[in-house]
Amino acid sequence: MEYTVVCRNLSKVYRQNSIAVQALADINLEISKKDFLCLSGPSGSGKSTLLNLIGGLDLPTSGDVSVDGIALATLDRAALARLRLTRIGFVFQAYNLIPVLSARENVEFVMQLQGISAAERRTRAMDILKEVGLDGLEDRKPGELSGGQQQRVAVARAIVSGPSLVLADEPTANLDSKTAENLMQMLVQMNAEHNVTFVFSTHDKLVMDFSRRLIKLHDGRIVEDVRRG
Amino acid sequence: MQIYVPLLVTLAWRNLWRHVRRTLLILFALALGVWSMVTLAALTRGSMEQQLTSAFANLIGHIQIHLPGYRDDPVIDHRFAEPAGALRDALDAPDILAWAARVRVPAVVSSEQESAGITLVGIDPARERGLSFLANAVKEGRMLMDADDPGIVLGRKLAERLETALGRRVVILSQDSANKIADRGFRVVGIFDSQPEMIETAYVFIGLAQAQRLLRMPGAVSEIGLIAPDRNRLDAPLDRLRAAAPQLDVQPWTQIEPTLKLTESVTDVILMIWYVIVFVAMSFGLVNTLLMAVFERTREFGLFQALGMPPSQILGQVLVESLFLLAVGLALGNLLAFATLAATADGIDLSAFAKGFEMIGVSPMLYPMLKFDDALSANLLVFVLGLAASLYPAWRAARYVPVEAITRT
């Protein structure tokens, strides 16, 4: 079995003043290629922390994470950025689009960092924006788009450069139920068509319902790991 | 390392205009600072050049030639033959604009009413043109016609002190080459004005041949003064003159009047201090603006890292923003400064303060003079140190831990 993500004995302790808070404890986890996986659990259970460690946005206190067989602990800041650039897409709860760039420029951003030519960037960006239903809105700035539209731009940006893994932290939290369902259907389709592994962190039952694998966390530990479908 | 120039430029330029008022304010501060640096440099340099030009014209010149010992004891004993042969050839070379041989000895001038100690200067009026202030200084009466003119030219202040006037006679008393008293009456043919006014009481002028006869020193002079095209490029004429007259003391103005050189050096230091003061004030504004921009965009910088932008490029983005601010601020500041200098090219009338200025030998009209080096150093200082000052905010932006930056509210 080929794994996109492997976590071994992963722990994370946050220190707030002199108090140590165990956010994750001894997590062992393998995520297969093309998986559509949801991390769930109450607030403070460690889902976002685990997502951040998998994405190399934060460093574990102990243990190892590898993505596509590359151990993140061996990489410096620049190499981690390079890994995220080439292999990982992110979708954040707060959309996190770049406000001074248009929807198309936001989608092109990662491709620009990858050194893809302007013509190809434009073509791919327009194609993916059409795919997420934003045809005709490509020149709008994030402030001129609705929450759902912004989240679609964020998804398009995460997908367009062909990552092997997309990490989405509460992607539906700020969306109404109809928009959220549309978004999840779109992600399922992309999972199938683009061979991308999706890992969600969420409280949203809708996202859990769409997922093929559900991992429940409690107090920083995996308490349930269910495969469906 | 790949540098994403178009992306960095786009982001930097658009980010600058997210806060139009703040950006305009810092641009105004930068432009004002650069304007003050360049304009003050031109005014100071212009004032200094006027002082130096005036001093060179006040019988100092760029190079002086004497018998060794004259500068310590400027008496008739330290005389030498009028230039001839190799020395004359060296003086007539094209890199010397004008030269004149002079008799210059201490003397006493007396009228019917008063006496005063002065320096008696015997001149060839034709040779003083383009060399000393005398050519255009006579405001009453006339200038000496030639080296054999029997008249005398006095300064206005001295004439007032002696209570004499045009057409009256004064007596010059000095020591001749045989150490005997030499005295003779001269009719006042001209009254000159000068800056500084002390020149008017320090010197009286008679014809060179008349002075040589009075002092019994035929064919001898006390000094040769000359002007070269560039006061800072005197090595070649100095070497040539020293080779032509090894028995004489050939010295540049920097040795003859070290205070003049000091004036030039002090001006440079004052300008540099002014530059630094203005820059420090500007840099606070610049760094503050960039730090605010960085703190406000903490989440964005975290996002950039999450999306795969290397820290070095984030540093580059902030530096490009600083570069834009500096470039636009410098351009505006220089334009303002050039406009100011163009508007004041005909001089700034400081006659309200003229009395004070005249005492230190400065004309009441101030002519700004912008030296390329002054403008360049002001611009380079702001640009290079401005970028250096921006390194801290840029470094802060590049050092954020992505997860902390993204989750910051």
Question: Which domains, ranges and CATH numbers included, belong to chain A?
Answer: 3-97+146-227 (3.40.50.300)
Q: B98 and B191: one domain?
A: yes
CA-based nearest residue to B333, from B54, B39, B116, B18: B39
Both tokens assigned to B215: 């002092």
pLDDT band at A7 (very low <50, low <70, confident <90, very high): very high
Residue A183 pLDDT exceeds 90: no
Q: Is residue B354 over pLDDT 80?
A: no
State pTM to two decimals: 0.76
Question: Are B142 and B197 part of one and the same domain?
Answer: yes
Q: Which residue has the higher pLDDT, B404 or B20?
A: B20
Nearest-Cα residue of chain A relative to residue B1: A78
- For A110-158, what is each residue's pLDDT tens digit? 999 998 999 999 999 999 898 888 889 999 999 999 988 998 899 889 9
The answer to whether the CB atoms of B11 and A77 lie below 8 A apart is no
| Last-in-domain residue among B186, B215, B247 | B247
Q: What is the pLDDT of residue B338?
A: 95
pLDDT, position B1? 56
Chain B: give the shortest CA distance to residue A188, in Å: 22
- Asked whether residue B253 is domain-assigned, the answer is no
Q: Is residue B166 part of a domain?
A: yes
Average pLDDT score over residue span B233-262: 93
Same domain, B211 and B347: no
Counted domains in chain B: 2
Residue B360: its pLDDT value, please? 58
Confidence of residue B47 (pLDDT cuts 50, 70, 90): confident
Per-residue confidence at A103, pLDDT binned at 50, 70, 90? very high
For residues B387-401, average pLDDT = 87
Size of interface A-B (CB pairs under 8 A): 71
CB-CB neighbors (< 8 A) of B12 in chain A? none
Residue B342: is its pLDDT beyond 60? Answer: yes
The yes-or-no verdict on residue A16 having pLDDT over 90 is no
User: Do residues B189 and B280 share a domain?
Assistant: no
Of B208, B225, B247, the residue at which a domain comes to its end is B247
Q: Mean pLDDT lowest for which of A175-184, B53-62, B175-184?
A: A175-184
Mean pLDDT of B238-251: 94
Residue A68 corresponds to which tokens in the numbers above? 């596509």
Report the gap between the CA of A205 and the closest CA in chain B (Å): 23
Same domain, B402 and B308: yes
- The model's pLDDT over B264-289, given as tens digits with 9 standing for 90+, comes to 888 889 988 988 898 888 888 888 88
Which range of residues forms the domain containing residue B89? Answer: 68-247
B151, B273: one domain: no
Same domain, B241 and B349: no
Asked if pLDDT for residue A202 goes beyond 80, the answer is yes
CA of residue B42 relative to chain centroid, distance = 10
Judged by CB atoms closer than 8 Å, whether chains meet at A78 and B11 is answered as: no
CA atoms lying within 13 Å on the CB side of residue B251: 15
- The answer to whether residue B252 sits within a structural domain is no
Let me know whether B218 and B314 are in one domain: no
Predicted confidence band of residue B357 (pLDDT cuts 50, 70, 90)? low
pLDDT tens for B124-174 read: 999 998 888 887 889 999 999 999 999 999 999 999 999 999 999 999 999
Question: Does residue B325 belong to any structural domain of this protein?
Answer: yes
Q: What is the tens place of the pLDDT at every residue in B26-39?
A: 899 899 999 999 99
B-facing residues of A in 190-229 (CB < 8 A) are none
Our CA-based measurement puts residue A192 at a distance from the nearest CA of chain B, in whole angstroms, of 23
Which residues of chain B neighbour A86 with C-beta distances below 8 Å?
A: 308
The pLDDT tens digits of the residues spanning B316-340 come to: 988 999 999 999 999 999 999 999 9
In a domain, B256, yes or no: no
Burial (CB < 10 A; 0-12, 13-18, 19+), residue A114, is middle
Work out the minimum CA distance from B407 to partner chain A, whole angstroms: 10
Which of B217, B247, B277 is at the close of a domain?
Answer: B247
Mark whether B77 and B221 lie in a shared domain: yes
- Nearest neighbour of B311 by CB, restricted to A77, A88, A112: A77
Rounded Cα distance, B328 and A137, in Å: 33
Per-residue pLDDT, B355: 62
Q: How far is CA A73 from the centre of its chain?
A: 20
B60 in any annotated domain? no
Q: How many CA atoms lie within 13 A of B106 on its CB side?
A: 10
**How large is the average pLDDT for residues B92-105?**
94
Residue B215 placed within a domain: yes
Chain segment B363-391, per-residue pLDDT in tens: 677 889 998 998 999 899 889 988 888 88
Question: SS3 for chain B, per residue?
Answer: CCCCHHHHHHHHHHHHCCCHHHHHHHHHHHHHHHHHHHHHHHHHHHHHHHHHHHHHHHHHCCEEEECCCCCCCCCCCCCEECCCHHHHHHHCCCCCCEEEEEEEEEEEEECCCCEEEEEEEEECHHHHCCCCHHHHCEEEECCCCCCCCCEEEEEHHHHHHHCCCCCCEEEEEEECCCCCEEEEEEEEEEEECCCCCHHHHHEEEEEHHHHHHHCCCCCEECEEEEECCCCCCCHHHHHHHHHHCCCCEEEEHHHHCHHHHHHHHHHHHHHHHHHHHHHHHHHHHHHHHHHHHHHHCHHHHHHHHHCCCCHHHHHHHHHHHHHHHHHHHHHHHHHHHHHHHHHCCCCEECHHHHHHHHHCCCCCEECCCCCHHHHHHHHHHHHHHHHHHHHHHHHHHHCCCHHHHHHCC
Residues B151, B164: Cα–Cα separation, whole Å: 14
Query: Does B175 score more than 80 pLDDT?
Result: yes
Residue B363's pLDDT is what?
A: 67
B142 and B163 both lie in a single domain:
yes
Residues B290 and B333 in one domain: yes
Pull the structure tokens for residue A76.
Answer: 């410096």
Collect all residues of chain B within an 8 Å Cβ-Cβ radius of residue A52: 403
pLDDT for the residue A18: 81
Do residues B210 and B288 both lie within one domain?
no
Percent of chain A whose pLDDT exceeds 70 = 99
Say yes or no to pLDDT of B361 above 60.
no
Binding-site residues on chain B for chain A (CB distance < 8 A): 2, 4, 6-7, 10-11, 14-15, 18, 299-300, 303, 305-313, 401-403, 406
Residue B154 inside a domain? The answer is yes
B63 touches B238 (CB < 8 A): yes
Average pLDDT over residues B356-366: 65
Range name among A119-123, B104-108, B257-261 with the lowest pLDDT average: B257-261
Using CB atoms, which residue from B2, B401, B406 is nearest to A115? B2
